Every structure is written in structure tokens, then in C-alpha cells.
Structure 1
Amino acid sequence: MKHPVATTRVLPANTAVSSGSRSANRTKTYRWFGTRAAESVAAGICVLACVSTVQASDAVRAMPADTFIETLAVITHVNYTDGAYVNVRNVVDDLAWLGIHHVRDYAPGSSPPFSSYVYLAQHGVKFNFLTGSNFAESIGQAAKLNVTVPGSVTAIEGFNEINNWPIPYHGLTGTAAGLAVQREIYARVHATPELKGVHVYDLTGYDEKSVETRADSADYANQHVYPQNGEQPTYNANGDRWMGAAIDAVKKFQLPLVITEFGYFSMPQAGWYMLGVDEPTQAKGVLNGYMDAAAAGVKRTFVYELLDQKPDPQNKSGEMHYGLFRNDNSPKQVAHAIRNLTSILNAGTTLRANGTTGAVRGTLAYRLSGMPVSANSLLLQKKDGRFVLALWNETPIWDRAAGTPLTSPPASVELDFGVKASRVDLYDPLVSAAPLASHRDLRQLTVNVPDHVILLEVTLADTPGT
């Protein structure tokens, strides 16, 4: 799968939109909160000496930080009882430590016991359940859990990658069988009272070009994205745009989208295709992918996977190195980075009852000058009204010939907030949950944007509590 950049479109005045959409009203135009622009490590910032002479851009509508956090998800294999997942308490603790509660797993079966899923659900885990060959039983078990712990099941997903694991069904084979099963799964889920409000995710592994509609088959389109050759998730100078192409392939279905598999394995390799990378590069790719997906409007992205399943000291199997945590449950750099990201976004101040201008503003008319075509931005807003601008530049991060990481010079980007900011804090989630630099009373600054996500937390002068 090769994937392109999201395009912009203009909506008519008074178009109703949900969070994550680009909209326009009678008096202002809004740009999509994630933008890719045109020019590329320390992510330092330097205050510009001059007063702004740059005209403010159109207002950008911010995605609520809570909404963004809800897009973050991870795959678990609780049904694998011969490896790291046998300890479900570790699974609960790891998810809480990351700040993630959405997981994708197979529906409960005979092993592990049903009580393991109840334990996870009681500790706040929300499940997207894959259906197995006995999909009727899978749906029944999901319904049982949703009754035992109401709200613990958010979605039921059709068969996984039928191109790799084809299924027969009522004399049908291949894509025809998969699509027929999906229609039955859809009908059964929506006819099950215990699963009221639970969405149906499409199956994966069929040729989207040969299918024109998913009506009566899925509530959400579904894709898998694995950047190859150690490449960035969306932008690569050679034309490979893994996530963008996956998104474009299902746009015709006019459904919201989930990505139920995405990731990099941390077993460094040289050569060609399905290349593993080192742990710092895995962290860069995963965080960039989470941001790319949210900026493109993907409703949830499940990273493969929570834990390295089994020990592999001789590095013989890339499959055993996809985890955010190692097999001994120690966190890799990617786990630290996700924890830092969610910690930064969850940290807030108490709103003042008489000062809500910043909280209800919802938009920021910022301008980025000098952004390379490989760079992207995503504007978020915390509950307390502070904005968080994520910036990242998808320059090459892996030398596939040598099997070693690459680091490009950061891009110098000029940022104008359009209004005066009383405080701007710079964060690098790959480094810390604490700010690396802080500045006060400014409207413009220069930002060095590296090959991975950095965050600028912007407190405007009229933000509540300031």
C-alpha cells in the first residue's frame, strides 16, 4: 500500500461539522487542523526580535486534546497464553501507564478464561473485538462481556486480512466469502440488543477497487498500514505515502475510518522491505503515525502491539519485536514517548468561572512559514483553553542499506500566532514530559522542527487562569 497526502476542500457556509473537520461559517473560514505545507536535533525555539508584520492566517479549528487521545489505541493478544500476555495485570498496568484504554483483540474464547476479559474491562479497557472463524460465538461472547461490564465493547471487527488467511463460507471462497461473512456479522451485531451502540468495523484484506459500497456491511472503513523499508508513515521523497494511500483507497465508501494495525518492529535490519528499525526510530515512526492519522481524520489507530510476545534473544523473528514494551515488560522508548505525550496533553489548570474566552475560542489564526513539504501540523486544545500545536517533519529516519538510523537537520519554521501569547512551552515527547524551553509575552517565534513530533503549548493572554 502506498499512501498520499490529504487534500483540502471548502465547505459551504453554515455546514455542520464534528471535531476533526474543516468548516466555514458566515464570518470566518476555518482550515483543517492538520496541514502539510511547502520547504527541512534539538527542537529549540528562538523569539523573533521584530513585532509581527505577517498578516494572520485563516483561523484553524483545534481538535480537543481529549478527542485526540481517544484516537490512540493498541493491539493486545490476551488469547496468547504462552507468552507475555498471560499476565493480564501487566496489560492493565501498561495501558494505564501509557494513558491508553482502547485495545483490539480477539473475542473471548475457551482460553484464557472469560474472567480475564472481565478484569480488563473493569479496569477501564475498551475492546474492539475481532471475530474468529466461529463469528456467531465471537459476537455472543462480546455481548456477554458488554452486559457484565456495560460499555466495555466499542466495536466488532470482521475477519482479519483474508488475503493472508482466506475463509470459505457457504460454498464461496476468497473475497466473495469474506464480503458475505461481513454482511452477516453486520446484521447480527446490529440485531443484538446487548450490543446496542457498538460499531462494526469492516474486514481487511480484500481488494477495495473491486468493491463499490460497504452499505449494510460496516459502520467504519478499516485499513492496515505498515510502512516498509524503515520509512516515515506518510511522506517519503521517493513517493511512498503509506498511510495516505490507505486512506485514499477507502474514501469512496464515505465512511469514517479506523486503522486497526499500524507499527514498526524494533529489530534493526538492512536490506529491502519489512525492515526492522531500532527502538528510537520505532518511537519516531509510531508517534508520527498517530499524529498523521489524527490529522487526516482517522477516528482510531491501533498500534501493533502492546508487548513483545515471546523472548527472541537471537533476533530471528521480527514478529516478536513489535511491542511498545519488551517481553520482560520493560518499556521501550516508544512507550515512554506515548506516556509523555498523553501526560502533556492531560496536564491542565483549573478554569476560572469568569474567564472562559480562551476555552470557547476553539480556533487559532496561526501561520507557519517555511514548512517543508515533508512537514505537518496538528492543532489541539486542552480543556483549560490552552492550545497545543504539534509539529513534525517526515524526513528519512532509516538507512535501509546500512541498517542504521538517519537524522536530518531540523527545519527552521517561523510561527506567528496571530495574537499575543503570554507563555509558550516547548515539549519533545521523545525526551520528557517536562518543557525543554519556555518563553513569555510573544507573538512570533522560530521553531526547529525535527523528524518527529514536538509540541508547543500556547497560553494566550485571554486564556482562563492566566
Structure 2
Amino acid sequence: MNATEYAAFATLTLLTLAPACARDRADVAPPAAMPSERPAEPRAQQDMVPEPARPADSLVESIGVAAHWGFHNTVYHQKWDEVQKLLGESGIRIVRDGLDHRMDELWKLYGIRGIFVTSPDKSWDQYLELWRQKRHLIAAIEGSNEVNGGWAKVGYTYQGKGWPEGPRIFQEDLYKRVKGDPALKDIPVIALSTAYKNFGTSLAPLRSFDYANAHSYAGGGIPSRSIDFREPYLLLGRGAVYPPLAATESGYHTCLGETRVIAGNHPGVSHAAHRKYIPRHVAEYFNAGHRWTVIYELAAGRPKKAEQEDPEAAFGLLMPDATPKPAYFALKDLIALLSESKWDAAAGRWIHPESFPTRAMTFSLRGAPESVHHTLLQRSDGSFQLLLWNEVPSIDLRAKKDIRNAPVPVRLALRDPAARITVTRLGPDALPPAHFESVREIDLAVPDEVIVVGIRLAKPLRPASLAPPGDVEVKPGPGSVELSWPVRKGADAFWVSLNQRNLGPAQLGPDGKARFRMTGLLPAMTYPFEIVAVSRDGGVSVPAKVSATTVDASPDLVVLSLKTIPESPKEGDTITFSAVVEN
């Protein structure tokens, strides 16, 4: 097939597409008319917003899996050689469980470290001695697991106390012991976890941790709806500083025959939906600022149970016989595309890419509805990786049938021409990547799974230095914060984040000021925002750090809309009132 034929389905604004087999792909749009070859007019770039990228390797660093080293009658013991090989080949760098002897093997072969869960079954002297000996294996130390139910189930107490006093004191002592030890003080401490909703208030005030902790399961739903910015922070109480977040349990199971799990009702998903959801899951949680997103779990964790017999035997990336599920391969492919760090087994150390200043890429996703989500990353060689997906359900949970979602037509338009764009899909049945050369725009068809659009610009970005925002005015409310600041010369946009959570761009007003408003916040809480200025030529300023403390009062409910069903009721009709309220 020649280049002229390719120009019929990938829209160009510069030269032509190089030959590549991309026809009939789900991630490349159907034929479109070839425009005249001319530089884009400035008006055509008005919808383009410069967006700061994050390092591609940092997303890989955020991915972990839970394990159950103590489940002896499962694949963790019976097929350990297969399990450790599959784990190592996946590229996953973090495992969450106890500090088991198998972590020594995983570190030696693959550089895998652990988030290690604690409980009051050892003395502090035992813990401290073990942690000092195994310091190189530790990514983080986590408080006790799901303490509102787990402690009573196994009979744990601490200083003679059970829930909630015992777990609270145990977490406080854990933090003091780790931070008070010269060899351990730099290890991050993650909060204890709770099961079910609203139990965190019984632990308040508790602030002895570096990262709040979420066990946020989607219950078979789409990944973004499982993200919880309320429950993990209830234990703080009023007057705290809002800490960063980790999710040490999250994910899906693939049992369609049963929904009952240890912690309640949890519908399963098909293997096809699981394959789509897992890469979306880690990308959504990364966008939401989670330092670690731990998928529950690596392998089926119930002995002598079939996948369709028990949901607890259906969590994980591996089947009960250690066969990889399709989601395993999709996640492995994503990690391989983004990873830049290399494990040197001979030297026993990680070789990381040199630190580099990430740039902004100016682009637009024309025609994309709100359901099309993305993550913008950059590699150390300057190339960008744009993750795209349509965040819609991929399975009907009631019918237990996959949903065939039509791909969404989206035009990716770049301010700066690309020397090469590569579109890659994930998983064992993915088509080969599609390659396009010397382009500024291409038409894509975004599916309900992650596609990775690699973008190498024709010329390196060499932006001028950019001053950070200054003179930021803060207007707090009981459940909201408004920020405003003057727009300085050279800045084309401003992006706001909260503990690495991407909150999006600020609004630029006609009065020369930028404004940002966030609602749904907890009262009497200090929120550490960061604001960066970005420019169309790729510039990203150092962040301006702004702390905003919400008012210590319960906010009023504001009714935003009210309607009746039916809209025009008649005498004798049963009326349902539907209201949208803001707290």
C-alpha cells in the first residue's frame, strides 16, 4: 500500500504518512478527506491548551500487586516458580504483603520491593531488627489491615485494647518507631486501612502516617467511579493537613457466577472487561494522585476453589492454576511501553533514567466527549506518551454480558509537527502498532480500553524560562476553595494539582486573572495545592505552592436543580422528586 492510500484515512496538515499497515484498526479512524497541505492557521490552534507531562516511569513506579505468601495451598506455594517468573516478567515493581523470605528472591532476580503490612503479632524489637536487615526490600510500611473487622476476627489487641483504640495506638507507635530509627526514618509509612464506609471517624484524630490509605474497589464498575477522596481522610479529624494517598487494595474479580466476597457484595467482570479495566484502573488512579495503586491481587488466593465457584478465587492477574489472564498481558504491555528504569541483577541495583525537566505538550482532542480520558507522560528522550481511553462500562453487570462500545472518533491535533506518531494497543490479541510520519493531525477511534499514542516531535522543545504564578489570593469556604492570581507574561495556561492529583487547568478571565475553584472539600482541612504556569512552546514553571484551609463549619446544602417525574403530572399521578444538590 502506498503513501497516497494512507492519506485517505489519516488526516494530515503537513506532509504525508509513511507506509504502514493500519487499515481496519479499531484505534485508527475510518477514511477522511485529505486537506490541502499548508501550515495550520493560528485560529486552528485556539482550542489547543499546553498541558504539563509527568515522567512515564513514574506511572510504572505507582503500580503494585497484593499477594498472600501465607496461603500455602494455593499457587503461591504450589507453583511458585511459575508465579515468580510471571511476576518478574510483568515489570511490576511492588508487592504488598508481609516481609516473606520470597521477597529476597524477587529482589535478587527482578528488583521487586514490598509494601509490608504490620499487625500486633510481633514485638517492636522483632519488627525493627527485621526492617533494618531488609531495608533494601522496603518501599513502604503499612499499618494494620482493615482493622474494624480484621482485628476481632483473629483476636488482635494492642496494649489490651481492641477496635478502635488498639489500632489507633498501634499506628501511632508504628510511626514513632519508624521515624525514630536513623536507619528507617526515610521509609514512607502508610495508614492502617478499614473495610466498609464511615468507620474512619471512630479513629479520629489519627495523623501518624505519610500516606492516607484507600481500599477502593469498583464493584465491577468503571475504574474512575471507585476513586474515593473522602473515606481515607475521615480518620484525620478537623485541623489536619490533607496528606497524599495510596490505594493498597483495589481491583476486580472475574467470577460471574457468584458475587459474595468476604467484605460484602462484589459483582465480577468478564475476562474481556478485566483486560480493558486494569490498564484504565492504574491510569485513572495515577491521574488521581495515588502514590501506589495496588491491584488485588497477583494470583488466585483461595485453595481448592475454581474461578467461577468463589470470587475470592477469581481476584488477580493469574488464574488458580497460574495461567495468566488477558489483563496480565495488557498490563505487562503498558508497563513495557512506559518503563525506563532497568534492573541490574549483577550489581543488585536499579538504573534509573537521568532526571529531566518534563515539558508541556500543546494539543487538542477535537470531538472528544467527557468520557474520553487521557494521561500525558514524557520519556527522558523528550518523546511523549499519550494514554487515551473511553471511560464507559465494558460489561453489563446485570446481564453479565460484555458491551460492544463503538470507538469514539477523535482528532488529535498538535501545535508542533510530529516526526513520528505510533498508536499501540495492549494485550495478547492486539494488532501491530500503526505508524505515522511527518504529521500534525491524525484521526483516531478511541476504544473503551487504553491505547498508547507515542509522539516524537519533529524538533525538540526549547522553551523560554517561565516564572511561577505569584500573588495567589485564597478564598476558602466550609467545603470549597477559590484561588485567583494575575496572569503573567509568557504563560498561556495554568494547571492545578493536589498531592499529584491532576485537577485540570485554571480559567483565564478577561480581567487578566486566572481562577480555580474546587468544591466537595472537608471542613477545617488544609489543602496543599500546587500551580504551574505552562506555555505553548513547552515551558513549565516550578510550582507555586499554596495552602488553603477550609472554614470550620458544615456547609449548607444548595439545591442546583429540581424536577418532577413525570415532568407534567396529572391529578392522581404518583410524583417522584429528583434534586441535584451541592454540599
Give me the TM-score of the superposition, normalised by structure 1.
0.78
- In structure 2, what is the equivalent of residue 428 of structure 1? 425
Tell which has more relative contact order, 1 or 2 (C-alpha 8 A, sep 6+).
1
- In structure 2, what is the equivalent of residue 341 of structure 1? 334
CA, structure 1 residues 142+433, in 2 after alignment: closer, same or farther (shift >3 Å)? farther
> Are 2:268 and 1:276 aligned?
yes
Task: State how far apart, in whole Å, the 2-side matches of 1:72 and 1:95 are.
Answer: 12
1:97-176 equivalence runs, <5 A:
97-108=89-100, 114=101, 116-123=102-109, 124-136=111-123, 140-141=126-127, 143-144=129-130, 146-148=132-134, 150-166=135-151, 167-176=156-165
- In structure 2, what is the equivalent of residue 43 of structure 1? 27
Task: State how far apart, in whole Å, the 1-side matches of 2:160 and 2:277 are.
Answer: 42
Give 1:128 deviation, angstroms: 0.7
- In structure 1, what is the equivalent of residue 212 of structure 2? 221
Task: State how far apart, in whole Å, the 2-side matches of 1:270 and 1:330 are.
Answer: 21
Task: State how far apart, in whole Å, the 1-side matches of 2:389 and 2:128 are.
Answer: 39
- In structure 1, what is the equivalent of residue 291 of structure 2? 299
Task: State how far apart, in whole Å, the 1-side matches of 2:157 and 2:81 are.
Answer: 37
**Contact 1:365 / 1:417 at 8 angstroms: preserved in 2?**
yes
- In structure 2, what is the equivalent of residue 331 of structure 1? 324
1:197-212 equivalence runs, <5 A:
197-205=186-194, 207-209=199-201
SS at match of 2:48: coil
Structure 2 unaligned runs (5+)?
1-24, 342-355, 462-583
- In structure 2, what is the equivalent of residue 389 of structure 1? 386
SS at match of 2:300: coil
CA, structure 1 residues 299+48, in 2 after alignment: closer, same or farther (shift >3 Å)? farther
The one-letter code of the counterpart of 1:232 is I
**Contact 1:421 / 1:460 at 8 angstroms: preserved in 2?**
yes
- In structure 2, what is the equivalent of residue 365 of structure 1? 362
Task: State how far apart, in whole Å, the 2-side matches of 1:130 and 1:219 are.
Answer: 15
Task: State how far apart, in whole Å, the 2-side matches of 1:396 and 1:314 are.
Answer: 22
The one-letter code of the counterpart of 1:294 is F
CA, structure 1 residues 156+391, in 2 after alignment: closer, same or farther (shift >3 Å)? same
SS at match of 1:419: strand
Cα RMSD (Å): 2.8
Q: Pick from 439, 445, 449 the counterpart of residue 448 of structure 1.
A: 445
CA, structure 1 residues 176+339, in 2 after alignment: closer, same or farther (shift >3 Å)? same
Task: State how far apart, in whole Å, the 2-side matches of 1:247 and 1:461 are.
Answer: 46
Structure 1 unaligned runs (5+)?
1-40, 109-113, 235-240, 349-358
SS at match of 1:417: strand
CA, structure 1 residues 49+212, in 2 after alignment: closer, same or farther (shift >3 Å)? farther
Give me the TM-score of the superposition, normalised by structure 2.
0.63
1:86-97 equivalence runs, <5 A:
86=77, 87-97=79-89
Higher helix share: 1
**Contact 2:103 / 2:113 at 8 angstroms: preserved in 1?**
no
Task: State how far apart, in whole Å, the 2-side matches of 1:177 and 1:85 are.
Answer: 31
**Which string of whole-angstrom CA distances, capped at 9 and with x for unpartnered residues, describes residues 126-147 of structure 1?**
011101232535x734752552
The one-letter code of the counterpart of 2:222 is Q
Give 1:428 deviation, angstroms: 1.0
Give 1:253 deviation, angstroms: 4.6
**Contact 1:143 / 1:195 at 8 angstroms: preserved in 2?**
no
Give 1:49 deviation, angstroms: 3.6
Q: Pick from 261, 267, 274 the counterpart of residue 249 of structure 2.
A: 261
SS at match of 1:163: helix
Q: Percent identity?
A: 27
CA, structure 1 residues 367+198, in 2 after alignment: closer, same or farther (shift >3 Å)? same
